[in-house]
Structure 1
Amino acid sequence: MAPSSPPRTLEGKVAIVTGGSRGIGASIAYDLASRGAKVMITYSSDRSKTSTDDLVSRIKSELQGSATDLQCDLKDPGAPEQIVSATLKAFGPHIDILVNNAAVINDKKIADIKPEDFDEIFYTNVRAPLFMLQAVLPHLRAPGRIINLSSIGARAAYPGTGLYSASKAALEGFTRNWAAELGKDGTTVNAVCPGPVQTEMLDKVDKAIVAPQLEATLVEKRAGTVEEIAEIVAFLAEGRSSWVSGQCISASGGHVVY
């Protein structure tokens, strides 16, 4: 995924990347490992096992890095403690970086939304990041780095994305408040807000929703790449970002939303 080897600025750090089997999450996990971090990668379904195993193998063989994975459903209330316990068992007594990447999306319009749709999206996109952070905090080595994956959808309106957009807006609210609460020891909390990025998830979204997003970009009129998002996450995970906190950083090719 990385065209060249970046400096090993995260040597000795331990990171958790939820939903790291494919797409943006996989690129983030690989990039953090390429910078020296030991990475726990979570995935949710048997369908993701092969791609996750391949990612862990690539990190170990191509980077001579340390990575492991855990299958769990983040809608399970016990999942955050399970993930943290497995991370500590694999990599030692501290965690330095939490990347809340796992998310689900649907494109149902108002009349078609069912209670179970609401529960699935808000449990995965909002509840899970909160309780992942809560589980990590007793083991977070200061100054820690918390990075949430939001979306320009948190601040833009496209028919059929109301639930997803609302969940990401809630995550951005968490981001700002967590930054205020956790910053005394130098811990930073930020969100990265991608525009359309070429992933399996994007392929599932109604093209009528994606097309205006691409048209609104100011740079090259294209979808972003997973590597471009991973680079921003890496910056936020490193010490050089120590004066950046409580921010929701758009990475959308210049797609301006308010």
Structure 2
Amino acid sequence: MRNARFEGKVAVITGGSGGIGAAVARRLASEGAAVAIGYRGNKDAADALVDELAANGGRAIAVQADAADAEQTQALIDRVVTEFGRLDVLVSCAGIEHFDALENITPDDFDRVFAVNTRGQLFAVQHAAAHMGAGGRIVLTSSVSASKAFFGHTLYAASKAAVEAMVLNLSAELGEKGITINAIAPGGTATAMAVEYGAGYLHPELAGKTSLSDWLKTQVALKRLAEPSEVAAGYAFLASDDAAYMTGRTLQYDGGMF
């Protein structure tokens, strides 16, 4: 018998066409939620995920929306409410990486990273909360980088630390409506982003001398990357009634990073 924690509920997942976002969509749909997959550019992946969920008995739609554009995010939320008649859960997974030394960071870099990772999440909350009542659940995405130093990662880390501050402060406002808001701070996760950027987390003196997998054995208690499905379990917990008395908090999901 399947777990039905989300039976009758509607969830929107930004950045839902791949990586952690797609894993969250699968997890929530498997537990009964109707899901809307927000994506920026990978229509084929989003449509394929919708077909997969439908084949497994789920209800799903894919909606193109750039998380950096507040108007597109509002249109995404409005489409979900029109399509399904309600909104119970927002999971914000859309995000972009950035590595570079301080002397190379430009104002355009700052605006680009914060537009997606910080501003995008704030306005997703604003538009989603307007359609939620008591029992609404909002889960944002931070990173272990918000609380651990890595070379060249200042801009990205700052954008994620701001998310944790938003979650803490918005919990008071949203609590007035009976809505909870929390965040997940994933560690290294086996996604396309990890393949592209994972080596950037190594100390510069280790570049070319060790692999990411070997480095993880010395830095993470569980000695490996997480699978997206494992991290999705954390999002599902915070989005469920099991976390009804948890709000304003960021859950570290990093395999025990030292």
- TM-score (norm. length: structure 2): 0.92
- Measure how far apart 1:108 and its partner are: 1.4
Counterpart of 2:50, as a letter, is V
Distance 1:142 1:68 in 2: 25
Q: Give the equivalent residue in structure 2 for 1:215.
A: 218
What per-residue deviation string (whole Å, max 9, x for no partner) do you get for residues 187-237 of structure 1?
211111111001001111151415455531112x10011011111111111
Q: Give the equivalent residue in structure 1 for 2:70.
A: 77
Q: 1:234 aligns with which of 212, 233, 236?
A: 236
Q: 1:165 aligns with which of 124, 149, 157?
A: 157
Q: 1:56 aligns with which of 21, 32, 50?
A: 50
Describe the SS at the equivalent of 1:205: helix
Distance 2:91 2:120 in 1: 12
How many aligned positions are there? 247
Describe the SS at the equivalent of 2:109: helix
Instruction: State whether residues 107 and 206 of structure 1, in contact with CA within 8 Å, keep that contact through their aligned partners in structure 2.
Output: no
| Runs of 5+ consecutive residues of structure 2 not aligned to the other structure | 203-211
Distance 2:89 2:198 in 1: 33
Distance 1:56 1:107 in 2: 33
Distance 1:236 1:194 in 2: 14
Counterpart of 1:151, as a letter, is S
Q: Give the equivalent residue in structure 2 for 1:86.
A: 79
Q: 1:206 to 1:224 in 2, by over 3 A?
A: closer
Q: Quick check: 32-41 or 72-81, which moved more? A: 72-81
Instruction: State whether residues 70 and 83 of structure 1, in contact with CA within 8 Å, keep that contact through their aligned partners in structure 2.
Output: yes
Instruction: State whether residues 214 and 223 of structure 1, in contact with CA within 8 Å, keep that contact through their aligned partners in structure 2.
Output: no
Q: Give the equivalent residue in structure 2 for 1:183.
A: 175
Q: 1:138 aligns with which of 127, 130, 133?
A: 130
Q: 2:31 aligns with which of 17, 35, 38?
A: 35
* Runs of 4 or more above 2 Å deviation: 210-215
Q: Give the equivalent residue in structure 2 for 1:25.
A: 21
- TM-score (norm. length: structure 1): 0.92
- Measure how far apart 1:141 and its partner are: 2.6
Q: Give the equivalent residue in structure 2 for 1:149.
A: 141
- Measure how far apart 1:7 and its partner are: 0.4
Q: 1:214 to 1:167 in 2, by over 3 A?
A: farther
Q: 1:148 to 1:56 in 2, by over 3 A?
A: same
Q: Give % identity.
A: 36
